[in-house]
Amino acid sequence: MISLTVNGKSYQFDLEPETPLLWVLRDEIGLTGTKYGCGIAECGACTVEIDGRAMRSCSAPIGALDGAHVVTIEGLSPDASHPVQKAWIEEDVPQCGYCQSGQIMAVAAFLKNNPNPTDDEINANITNICRCGTYERLRRGIHRAAALMKA
């Protein structure tokens, strides 16, 4: 049995240890906000927070996560009140929106350790892909979220 805490709730799974966390979240728990993009941890659509760090869930085998605490987009805030979510709305960041849950989760984890990032730090650390190319809006959203977190 593999134990995980997801969005504050405890779960136990009797699954193959190689099962990617992404499929546990989507198929076993029913949390579909975390998206499948590439399956090789390149695009970032599946980003969640695992023990306080942003990680790509498509390549995180649950066997290596026994006892971990996972936060998904559904657990970030119950009402979209997290500063990153507010900034995303205020800056009209998404275009198609598919990658946004992963983007938001990556940025929320990033800002915990980088409360006043430069554009160069954002470019180096937020490596999620946006097919729509909204990178300028993403940077504006990250700067606004950083300001909201200080307020």
Global confidence as pTM: 0.96
Residues 22, 57, single domain; the answer is: yes
Read off the pLDDT band of 151 (50, 70, 90): confident
Q: What is the pLDDT of residues 95-136, one digit of tens each?
A: 999 999 999 999 999 999 999 999 999 999 999 999 999 999
Domain end among 49, 76, 103: 76
CATH code for position 128: 1.10.150.120
CA distances from 139 to 55, 78, 87, 94, 105 (A): 20, 24, 11, 12, 14
The rounded distance, in Å, linking the Cα atoms of 108 and 6 is: 17
Number of domains in the chain: 2
Boundaries of domain holding 63: 2-76
CATH code for position 64: 3.10.20.30
Domain end among 76, 103, 135: 76
